[in-house]
Structure 1
Amino acid sequence: MSSQIGAISSINALIGKAFQQPKGNFADSLNSRYTVSLLAVSAGLLLSSHFWGEPITCWTPAQFTKSWTDFVERYCYVHGTYFVPLEEQLSFDEEDRQKVPINYYQWVPYVLACQALSFYLPRFIWTMMSKSTGFDLTGAIKYVDRFWHQVRDNESSLEGRVKQFESRAAAYIWDGIRLARRKKGEQMSFHYMFYAVFQAGNAWIQWLWLNSLLQSSTYTFWGPGIVIDLFSGNDWQVTGHFPRITHCDFTRRRPASVQLDTVLCVLTLNIYYEKLMIFLWFWLLFVAIYSTANAVAWCLSLCITSRARSNITRFFFAHGKHGKQERFFKLLGKDGLFVMQQITTNVGDLPASYLTLAMQNVIEDWDEHDNNDDGNMIPKIK
């Protein structure tokens, strides 16, 4: 009992940890927040139903005692059942009649829990890689977000807000970028490209794993096939997908022989599995496609710096700053552009615009007075 409670507590902790992370772009939220929460909640509810409910009920002969009935149900739950339409006669060949096994039934909660962990894994790896660069991007995003809420409530003018950002947030970000550049060079953007590609690949792996879980002999990709069957009136009694009633074989020892018995079993949770699995099939497919598009977009953005620069330049235009910023972008570097993109994505355009103006002032001041110490660390950007 304590192990099951511990498992559910771990799932709750995973959900809480997922929502403590910066939201990132929509693909990040889709993978590490919404999908993790959806899978973890589903796994927790199904796990509790398996342990504290009656996931399987078997129809045993009248002469069976309660202990025999309990044994049969536990055996069939652990060993697995198989589907044969009720109107068909059972074959005497054991292998032939068990050609449609229902092996996934007891494993679904554990598979969903593993998938929840798998969807959180890329974000965890990215957090570790981010810290290894010498710049705590997650901490910086949280700091700017908290600082923006303070400035928004206490200062209303553009000049005042920029000055506030310049004295604290911009100086903090710029010092962190320079320190990371001294220690590791410019690695942050490369690490994020790896993370985005890994996240997309992981989403496809989880979708394929879910697709293979049901072992459908009728469809390669069973999601659309089952939906079409349902709309066509071909339910589980015909197709054998998520059957409510299955068969189970077990042997009983007699004094002089071993007797094979077959019982009918009701798989209650297949009523819910059918709806949940169809939804998850399409959900994970959507997550995989969107994550792939996001990975391609980020790779292009980080490789073609003019695109990233245009996203920052619009903040200067929005506040009437039409001068050239070539020197600013050269000093900011590829990782600096990436940090500004991440802050914009997580905190919003308005605070990011104030931070951009403040960063320009801080960097220009540093370039004028302090550049002699680490001028060799100026990155080269085409």
Structure 2
Amino acid sequence: MTYDSYGNLTVAGVADYLKEKEIFSADANLTVVDLHAVKESIEGFVNLIYHVYDQSGKSVIMKQMLSMPRFRIEDEKNNTVADGTDAGWTLDLGRMRSEIATLIFWNSVYPGISPEIYLFDEANRIIVMEDLMDLSLLRFELCRMVKHNHFTDKIGAFFARNLFYSSNLHLTNYKKSEVERFFVNPEYTALVPFLFHENIGVSWEREMVPGTNEKRAELVDNPQIKAEFQRLENKFMNDKECLIHTDLHSSNIMISAADVRIIDGEFAGFGPLAQDFGRLTASLTLNYISWFGDETRTAAEKADFQSYLLDTITDLYTTFQNEFRQLVETHREESYSLKTLDVDAYLIDQLQNALSYTGVNVMSRLANRGICYDLLRLPEPNRLVPTLLGLEISKELLQNHGNYINITDYTQLLKKLG
């Protein structure tokens, strides 16, 4: 097999490796595609990722964690990728172990929600998993105005089952502590600087499009906003509610007309479900506001798709709440905590925290470095209006999330933007 000087497989070495591990037969004629060369296939830049298939149509995805000191760096401002030797990342093999365990657990909670794992080679930092290349990233589907009405049924139900089965709602205190220890991930806190310290809502560190300083100052100089950021960071660090993805934006969900999969659980660990809900709601919100800067579609097309996005947000939360209520009723007699649980109050608290995290996560993708594709696809001058709307939405949610009792309260807020 062929490795580079850092112990990373070369493209030629991938085919030999998969034959040696009997994933493919020794006489198979393999095609190996480096997915970093395909823009829509991957947004992560700390792994080598390959799509490998033979003449019969059998295919897999192979991921190898890059060995330090070489890894890939994304220049989000210039939309380019380069190799580098120092960008502040500390990679740990524990992250790969955590991803494997997390994907397996999620498939046990909701079969088929994550890719199947075929091989984990810890010594070589390699995962071989189910090929999902027939699916597309949800983010790009949204930016093409492709509607997927089944998306909310699966993700909403998954959120409820994951919350229930990995929390004290179902587990004894002892069992939950054991599960938490099993899923300890050294990379769980990887997003903390990005979300809570360098965020444009509390810091001037990241640059933004011209014309945003006045609105931005309303957040950065606001003590209530700073206090809420601190509360949410403390909650993220200390509230070990359930097993969460932490980075569940629309580029970590793959979708087709019949299938929905969650991918890239490398930062997963025990934390508040509200972060996952907030990050995904932020993705849908960012796509919603992006259409105010898009000049390639008619007003009718944009209004129709924005209406679909409002329905999607509503259905996501409604499905979650309905599934959660059903789980509580089914298992109520098994647990004293369930017998005494005020389900309505519990779900309102989940909603309000999720909306506050939505504000944080929206702002985390508005700066030039870290900008989401939904806005990056727009000419720079056209990003100003969506960006200002994002700042205004985030300010409202961080200050007044406690006023939101139903998810329709939030969709009405978005609807008034038009």
**Going by fraction, where is helix more abundant, 1 or 2?**
1
Identify the structure with bigger relative contact order (alpha carbons < 8 Å, sequence gap 6+).
1
Q: Give the structure-1-normalised TM-score.
A: 0.26
Higher strand share: 2
Q: TM-score, normalised by structure 2?
A: 0.24
